[in-house]
Amino acid sequence: MKRKVLATGQESIPYRRELLPIGKTITATILLQQIIYWDDKMDGEFYKFIEPPKPREDGTLHPDYKVGDSWKEEVGLTHAMFRTAFKKLEEQGIVSKRVSQDNRTYITLHWDVLDPMLDKIYGVDEKKENNSDVAELKKRNQELEERVVELECKLGNHPSSEIIETSIVETAPEEEHQSKHLNVTLNEVVEATQKMGYAKEIGVNFFWYNEGRGWKGIIDWIPTLRAKLVSEKPLEAKELKEPKELRYFLRRWEHRAKVSITLHDKKYEVNKLGMLVENGMVVEPELEEKLYGAILKSGVEEFLNRFKG
């Protein structure tokens, strides 16, 4: 929800003051808003000219350039202003850039870093249940259960005559641990660790180790965590235990675009964030959790092998 809201209004170039704690400066904040817009529009990594290219000797412009499609024309930033603003975001690990062989500069927005920051401003996106019709809720849960059972049957590890309990039950949230020295919680560190594709135990150890040292020398914990993970081994398919770990694994899996699940004549695919989608729309979190859970229970390696090659 928050991503779509932030990705609207490209023509009006809004200045969202609430993002200033992230951008640090007004210029960097506006640039962040536009990077969010283009990341959503291009479905990930994109490139854009900083300034309009100079005409070539024959009077033509760069073949990939379109009038108005540069940061200077769109936001009014000079080359120096763009470089300074981008550095503010880059230093926090929010964005990165790479230059291709044909000299294009591509920009990548790291949602795994930005999301926790946005959560502190806008709150965590949650689908609110306002429907008081208990019968309708039970019907929906039953449909979810049937889909999971059918999926397990198709994966070959669930006898059709066997009945499994898949009803949705409310569980008490895990105890939250707020650092006494830094504006960060244990859950935030664990979530960031898992989003980057590593075991949550690494995040737990990272949190308590630095908590014991008073987070000495650490102002921004995310870049420090990313540096720590360089020496760690990402989770392999056989090590996945939770549905969200499977989602984060699929996010970086090279064969992600080939993954699909068909149930009740409905085809579910996986988007670039590892989320299940149907006809381009993200499915309910409950359904995704149950389908991914069924895959893990039935054998995730066998399932993924179907989409290799």
pTM listed for this prediction: 0.45
- Closest to 273 measured CA to CA, from 257, 295, 287: 257
Asked whether the predicted pLDDT for residue 201 surpasses 80, the reply is yes
Q: Which residues contact 62 (CB under 8 A, 6 or more apart)?
A: 49, 53, 56
Q: Does domain 2-122 have CATH number 1.10.10?
A: yes
- Strand, helix or coil at 205? helix
What pLDDT digit, counting tens, does each position of 111-168 carry? 888 988 888 887 654 443 344 455 555 555 555 555 555 554 455 444 332 322 333 3
What pLDDT digit, counting tens, does each position of 221-246 carry? 988 898 888 888 888 888 998 888 89
Alpha-carbon distance of 306 to 253, in angstroms, equals 14
What pLDDT digit, counting tens, does each position of 68-127 carry? 778 888 888 888 998 999 999 999 999 998 877 666 778 999 888 898 888 888 765 444
Q: What is the pLDDT of residue 9?
A: 47
Domain limits, the chain: 2-122, 134-170+238-305, 186-234
* Token output for 185: 């919680």
Asked whether the predicted pLDDT for residue 4 surpasses 80, the reply is no
- More confident position, 102 or 194: 194
What pLDDT digit, counting tens, does each position of 254-284 carry? 888 888 888 777 888 998 888 888 888 888 8
Mutual orientation of helices 285-298 and 134-155 as an angle, nearest 10°? 30
Asked whether the predicted pLDDT for residue 215 surpasses 50, the reply is yes
